[in-house]
Structure 1
Amino acid sequence: MPMRQIRARYDARSITVYQAYPPAIADPALRAQRFVPPFSLQRMTWLKPSFLWLMHRSNWAGKPGQERVLAVRITREGWQEALSHAVLTTADPAAVARAPVHVQWDPERSLRGAPLNHYSIQVGVSRALIRAFVEEWVIDLTDITPKARKIAELVRTHRAAKAQRLLPPEQVFPVSESIARRLRIDL
C-alpha cells in the first residue's frame, strides 16, 4: 500500500471528513446543519477523512471535549480549495505560519488503534478560510457517535469482524500531480 494517499468516503459532489466536539458545539451545529456559535471562527479546525484515525484521536468519542463525532460532508470544490492552499507542517516555519491550510501526515490506525505502515492526512483550515468552510463547503452534518460507540463496543468484546463491517467505506481520493507533489501524496 502506498505510504501517503487520501483515503476517504466521497462521491461526485462531496467528501466526508470527521470531527469530534463537545456537546455544546455539536448539538447547535446539528440543529442548524452548519457550524454556529459556540463554534469558533477564530481558531483552526482540523478535517480528518479517516474514520479510524479520528476514532483513535477521540478514543471512540470518549475523550473529554470530543464526546460527539460528526460526519461532515463538504463539497469536493471546498476540499480541493483547501488542498490547493495547503502547506505541509514540516515545511519552512515561515511558510507554515503564512499558510491558510496546514497538512500533516500521521500513522493510520487499525480497528484496535495500532499504528499502521501508511499515513492518514489531517487538513487544518485556519481563520483565513474557516468562514468559507462553515458557510460554503459544509453540505450536511451527521451525528455518528452512536455508530462509533457501537463499533468500539464490538472491538472491546472481541467481535472485530462485525465491527469491520460497520466502518464507513473509504477509497483513494484522486488529486492532481501538482497537489500530490507539494503535499507528498503518492499517486
Structure 2
Amino acid sequence: MNSENTQLNRSAAHPEPLRRIRAAHTGTTVTVYQAYACLSHYDPAVHADRDAWKRQLRESPARVQWDPERDLRLNPLPYRSLQLGLAGEASRRYADEWTVAIRDVTPLAHEIHALVTRGDLAAATALLPEERPYCPAAA
C-alpha cells in the first residue's frame, strides 16, 4: 500500500516548493512506525514520568503527534490528523528505501489558494487530493 503526504501552501508568499511524497507501506515500515514511535508530547497516561518520556523521545526514530485538521479557510475541523516525524535510521530509510515517488505540487497549491481567495471553495475542493483512511490490514 502507498501513502501520500501532501503539504499545500497556506500562503501565496510562501517561497518553498511543495512536494507530494508517496511512500511504500510495507510490514517493515508499519513496524517501525508502530513499535518505535514516541508521542511528541508528554502524556502521564502513557509515560512513567517526564524523564522517561524525554529518554524515549531522544532514542526514538519516529515521533507521533495529532494535529488539528483544517478546512480550506483554515478553520479547525472536529477531527485530527496524524503527523509522523522521522529521525535517524527511520529518516534515512524513508528517503533511501521507502519513498517511491516525489511530485512538485507547487502550481496546484497556488491554484487552490487563488480559488480560495476568490471564494470559489467548490472549485478549490475539487482540486484537493483524495484522502483515504489508512487501513493497516490492507497494507
For the criterion TM > 0.5, the same-fold answer is yes
Match of 1:128 in 2: 89
Listed as ranges, the gaps of 5+ residues in structure 2 are 43-52
| CA displacement at 1:79 relative to structure 2 | 4.5
SS of equivalent to 2:19: strand
Residues 141-168 of structure 1, C-alpha deviation per residue, up to 9 Å, x if partnerless? 1001101110010000010011011110
Normalising by structure 1, we get a TM-score of 0.61
Listed as ranges, the gaps of 5+ residues in structure 1 are 1-12, 19-53, 177-187
| Distance in 2 of aligned mates of 1:86 and 1:60 | 31
Give structure 1 regions of 4+ aligned residues with deviation exceeding 6 angstroms.
none
Moved more, 161-170 or 73-82: 73-82
Contact 1:82 1:125 in 2 (8 A): no
1:15 aligns with 2:31: no
Normalising by structure 2, we get a TM-score of 0.81
SS of equivalent to 1:68: coil
Question: What value does the CA root-mean-square deviation take over the aligned residues?
Answer: 1.8
State the identity as a percent: 30
Q: Which residue of 62, 69, 72 corresponds with 1:101?
A: 62
Paired amino acid for 2:17: R
| Distance in 2 of aligned mates of 1:69 and 1:139 | 17
Contact 1:61 1:69 in 2 (8 A): no
Match of 1:111 in 2: 72
**How many residue pairs get matched?**
125
SS of equivalent to 2:73: coil
